[in-house]
Structure 1
Amino acid sequence: MLEKTVYKKLLSHAFDFPVTVNYWDGQSETYGDGTPKAEIDINKKLSMKEVAKHATLTLGEAYMDGDIDIKGSIQQVVAAAYRQSSSFMHDKSFMKFLPKQGHSEAENKKDIQSHYDIGNDFYKLWLDPTLTYSCAYFENKDDTLEQAQLNKIHHILKKLKPERGKTLLDIGSGWGTLLYIAAETYGLHATGVTLSQEQYDYTKEQIKKRGLENLVEVKLEDYREIKGQFDYVTSVGMFEHVGKDNLPGYFKKVNELLKPGARALIHGITGQHNGAGVDPWITKYIFPGGYIPSVSKNLDYMIEADLQIDDLEPLRRHYQKTLEIWDHNFNQVRDQVRDMFDERFCRMWDLYLQAAAASFEAGNIDVMQFLLTKAPSGDGLPMTRDYMYTKN
Structure 2
Amino acid sequence: MERLLLQVISRVVRRGTLSVTLASGRRASFGDGTGIPLAMRFTSVQWQRRVCLDPELALGEAYMDGGLIVEQGDIADILALFMAQVGLAVPSVSAKLFMKLRFLFRRLAQFNPRERSQQNVAHHYDLDGRLYSLFLDADRQYSCAYFERPDQTLDDAQLAKKRHIAAKLLFDRPDLATLDIGCGWGGMGLYLAENAGARVTGVTLSQEQLGVARNRANERGLAERAAFRLQDYRDTPGPFDRIVSVGMFEHVGVGHYDEYFARVAELLTDDGVALIHSIGRSEGPGITNPWIAKYIFPGGYIPALSEVLPAIERAGLYVTDIEILRLHYAETLKAWRERFLAHREEVERLYDARFVRMFEFYLASSEMAFRHQGMMIFQVQLARREGVVPMTRGYIAEAEAALKAMETRHRPGLRLAGE
After TM superposition, the score normalised by the length of structure 1 is 0.94
Pairwise CA distance, 1:89: 8.8
Q: Secondary structure at the match of 2:118?
A: helix
User: Residues 76 and 358 of structure 1 are in contact (CA less than 8 Å); yes or no, is this contact kept in structure 2?
Assistant: no
1:104 & 1:351 partners in 2: Cα distance?
Answer: 29
Structure 1's unaligned 5+ residue stretches are none
What's the secondary structure of 2:291's corresponding residue?
helix
> Partner of 1:126: helix, strand, or coil?
coil
Residue 77 of structure 1: aligned partner: 78
The amino acid across from 2:40 in the alignment is I
- The equivalent residue for 2:410 is none
**Are the structure 2 counterparts of residues 151 and 93 from structure 1 closer, same or farther at C-alpha, using a change threshold of 3 Å?**
farther
1: CA distance between counterparts of 2:77 and 2:225?
45
| Residue identity opposite 2:349 in structure 1 | D
CA distance in 1, matches of 2:121, 2:224: 28
Correspondence for 1:149 among 154, 158, 170: 158
**Offset, 1:367:** 1.3
Question: Where in structure 2 are there 5+ consecutive unaligned residues?
Answer: 403-419
Q: Which moved more, 1:52-61 or 1:213-222?
A: 52-61
Distance 1:146 1:313, change over 3 A: same
The DSSP-based 3-state class of the residue aligned with 2:288 is: coil
**CA RMSD across the alignment:** 1.8
CA apart distance, 1:128: 0.8
Give the match for residue 182 of structure 2: 172
Counterparts of 1:326-341 in structure 2 under 5 Å? 326-341=336-351
- SS of the equivalent of 1:12 reads helix
Q: What is the distance in 2 between the residues matched to 1:120 and 1:335?
A: 16
Identity %: 37
TM-score by length of 2: 0.88
Structure 1 residue 266 corresponds to structure 2 residue 276? yes
Secondary structure in 2 matching 1:201 = helix
Distance between the aligned counterparts of 2:47 and 2:352, measured in 1? Answer: 26
Separation in 2 of the partners of 1:341 and 1:89? 35
Give yes or no for the alignment of 1:303 onto 2:313: yes
Indicate conservation of the 8 Å contact 2:192/2:198, yes or no.
Answer: yes
Q: CA deviation at 1:364?
A: 2.7
Aligned to 2:3: 5
**Which of these residues, 62, 86, 94, is aligned with residue 98 of structure 2?**
94
Q: Which moved more, 1:145-154 or 1:244-253?
A: 244-253
Name the structure 2 match of 1:136.
145
Match of 1:27 in 2: 26
Asked whether the equivalents of residues 47 and 67 of structure 2 are also in contact (C-alpha less than 8 Å), the reply is: no
What pairs with 1:102-117 in structure 2 (closer than 5 Å)?
102-117=111-126
Give 2:397's aligned residue: 389
Pairs within 5 Å for 1:1-392: 3-15=1-13, 16-34=15-33, 36-46=36-46, 50-51=50-51, 53-70=53-70, 71-84=72-85, 85=87, 86-88=89-91, 91=95, 93-95=97-99, 96-97=101-102, 98=105, 100=108, 101-163=110-172, 164-374=174-384, 376-377=385-386, 379-390=387-398, 391-392=401-402
Kindly state the Cα deviation for residue 264 of structure 1 after the two structures are TM-superposed: 0.6
Could you tell me how far 1:239 is from its partner in structure 2? 1.1
Q: Tell me the equivalent position of 2:412.
A: none
Q: Secondary structure at the match of 2:28?
A: strand
Q: Is the 8 A contact 1:307 1:373 kept in 2?
A: yes
Contact in 2 for aligned 1:21/1:41 (Cα 8 Å) = yes
**In 1, Cα distance between equivalents of 2:353 and 2:223:** 42
Matched residue of 1:293: which SS? coil
SS of the aligned residue for 1:292 comes to: coil
2:57–2:291: 8 Å Cα contact kept in structure 1? yes
Output the amino acid matched with 2:73.
Answer: G
Give the aligned residue type for 1:8: L
